[in-house]
A and B are shown apart, each in its own frame.
Chain A
Amino acid sequence: MRYIKTKIFMFAVAAIFIMFFSNDFGLIDIEKNAIITAVAIDKSIDNEYEVSAQIAVPEASNKNPENKKALITGKGSTVGAAIKNVGGISGWFPKLTFCNLIVIGQSLTEENIINVLDYFSKTLRIQNSALVLLAEDSGKDLLACTSPLDNISSFALQKILFKNPGFDVDIAPTDIKTFCTDYYSNAHSSFMPLVKTVEQSDSGQQNSGSSNTPSPSQTEQNPSSSSSSSSSSSSSSSSSSPTSSSSSSSGQSSANTLFDATTTALFFKGMKVGELDTDSTLILNILTRNASLTTYQLKNVNENQYEENYLITILRNYARMDMSATDSELKVSFILDIYCKIRDQNFPIPDLDYSDNSSLPSMVKEKMEEQLTARINGLLETIRQTKCDVLKIKQNLFRHHYGQYARYKDNYLEVMKTEVHVNVTGQK
């Protein structure tokens, strides 16, 4: 009898736990759930927020091998109201738990972007690890694109934004949490990738979807084409073309859209203040992240003779910021150590193979150091112009030189003296 009572008790406890923690009491019919995979947010002409939700509609059928999708747009005076409206007009309960992507339309850059993103950072209904990006035009249009990469465009976008280790770090991705943390930090500076569309036709030719999208050659010839983009060395080459961040077409007959996210939009106090071009985005990543196995193109190494181009693989990057702050001076040094090896070149060298034991020619080392120094200086100039402190100089001042923080917090970008030391090494 005693054991029967114990068993009944254990069963009752287990049943209560299962019911309680499995959300049984708050069940919503699965057919009434809209599983939102991505949202695009724009501002309509009547000054309302327009939220377009990409909804995955799973089907238990073998007729259609791919999941269906739907794009439903709701409007509202706040982002929350617009999302609510999506549920209202569709009859589906908008479930944001699986939403991993938020596309911001260009129309929203005219106001403080945090007005939009704050909703997502506060609500527990969405993961605040969801990626955030800026569309070059309308967010809804970007989400409505047909891409050969995936039947669902948001999944295709995530493929190029969230790269596994081993890929080039040529994109500066951010998520809701990081963007908001940067916004609410001392420097109020944040960034997100600016995604441009690249149309790919039958012939395999790629056309930029944007009239102002610089091609790699344009970037090289006119690095300051955009007033806010960072300048780069005239001899520098694009380290990564737009197509390098996009996958090639799978050979579908109709024109398909690929995405280029190698430029970065800069925000200061939530307002868009400029962009980083492809080269500056790469250098930002090399300075702030682990760029191991990222490739770097080095052009015209030996200018006196024929054109020598190299493809360098970064094996290890170590960057640090040294700051000294006194009553009279604020000095910031950027030290970048790179260990790399040559992956490819456009001319034959009989005694050079691609094994790890190949040493780095001194000319390559010097050229790379010169180019990286110029690019870091270019990035610093962009930071000065836009006040978007993506290198977190102000944060460093606050954390390590709090005694001088009050003195320099408002004018540190103007008064700081910068030094850049780049050391490139290869196999010795």
Chain B
Amino acid sequence: MQYQLKTRQICLFFVAFLPVTKIFMLPSVFEKFAENDMWISCLCNIILDLAAVFAMIFACRKADTDFFGLLKNSFGNVGSKIILSLYVVYFFIKAIMPINEQKDYIEITFYATLPNIFTFVPFFLISFYISVKKIRVIGRCADVLWAITSLGFLLLVGLSVSNVDIQALLPFGVRGAKSILSGSYSALSWYGDSAYLMFLIGQFAYKKKDGLKIFFTYLLASFAILLFMILFYCIFTSTAHRQIFSLTEISKYSSVIINIGRFDYIGILLILFASVFSMSMPLYFASLILSEITGIKKSWISALIINGGMFVFLMLFSEFFSTVQYYIFNYAGIYFLILGNLFPLFTPLLKTEKKKNALYQN
């Protein structure tokens, strides 16, 4: 069995890609529902993801084939294709919010005038290029991007801490379970990243203590997100709900920034750079699964269908995005919960047999 990834790359994958898409609009979504208890909402999502990761580590340990193989062994050809089709839709919908929020962020923050839809085309070119590549490219991206993400994140957090009113989190839990869980439910489209790990099963040689490494790296990335949520609320408190793009706002109250200028944009641009790749991940996996389902050998065809489809979707629904957002927040949550969190929990129960999928071969 030829492995395309190293355990190190799996770990860095989570560090590089997990935090970056969750620090644009997500903090204000949590705050809208749970106010000062938003960090508890975030924690609920993290626990759900960690439980799924924990289960999948067991699957990785005993699997001697990839996820496609595991599905075929357990559900047969038709059954596995149905499940994989659901995952194509899952990853496609999962990509909508992060891509659209970054599109809005760039248009509103960097452009004085209203740019047309085609200004965001470069993202799709990059995403398309990544989607065409083998899975080992994802590992190489993670090898480089974890440093960029970490640097940008540390710069922004470092500039923010001086303005934090940590007592703003008090009193804990007063918003009630309903508000906290509503926040978690609405944020499900940003979470469920453990599903990525499912498609990385069988792609790396599992050695002793690898599970521990993966689990703690995921924990570290999740802690970074939680830290950002706490900082966000403690800086903005009663006006947090209107800070739609927290990334630009969080660090600019530092006296260093006021005296010297907005050098925090260095950190912001580093995060934006990493998030281009992070946003491409759902589209990459959707393309990969589509190739598996349809049996298309030329990966550029499925990549074109998925990336082109996303571009057309965003273009068509650009004026109806509030409605799209409403449906994703209120109705798609259960879909994300089942495919992003619950199904991965049962991955260790899938039948393992030696059956390597040809798609991953060189």
Residues of A within 8 A of B (CB): 9, 13, 16-17, 19-21, 23, 25-26, 28, 93, 95, 121-122, 124, 127-129, 162, 164, 175, 177, 180-181, 184-185, 398-400, 402
Contacts and interface: CB of A to CB of B under 8 A. Distances in A.
Nearest to A401: B171
Contacts of A175: 253
B181 to A, nearest CB: 20
B110 A21 contact: yes
Nearest to A25: B119
B242 A122 contact: yes
Given A177-B239, A185-B238, A399-B170, A127 B252 contact: yes
B53 to A, nearest CB: 32
Where chain A touches its partner, the secondary structure class is helix
Given A25-B111, A28-B112, A129-B258, A402 B239 contact: no
B174 interface: yes
B137 to A, nearest CB: 12
B325 interface: no
B231 to A, nearest CB: 14
10 contacts: A13-B126, A20-B106, A23-B111, A26-B110, A26-B115, A26-B119, A181-B236, A399-B170, A399-B171, A400-B171
Given A17-B273, A164-B259, A185-B238, 19 more contacts: A13-B126, A16-B126, A19-B122, A20-B106, A21-B110, A23-B112, A25-B115, A26-B111, A26-B112, A122-B242, A128-B249, A162-B258, A175-B253, A181-B237, A398-B171, A399-B168, A400-B170, A400-B171, A402-B170
Nearest 3 Cβ contacts at the A-B interface: A26-B111, A184-B238, A399-B170
A177 B236 contact: yes
Nearest to A12: B125
A180 B238 CA distance: 8
A402 B171 contact: yes
Contacts of A162: 258
Contacts of B239: 121, 177, 180-181, 184
B109 interface: yes
Nearest to B110: A23
B272 interface: yes
B248 interface: yes
Contacts of B242: 121-122
Interface string B235-274: 0111100100100110011000111000000000100110
A337 B129 CA distance: 63
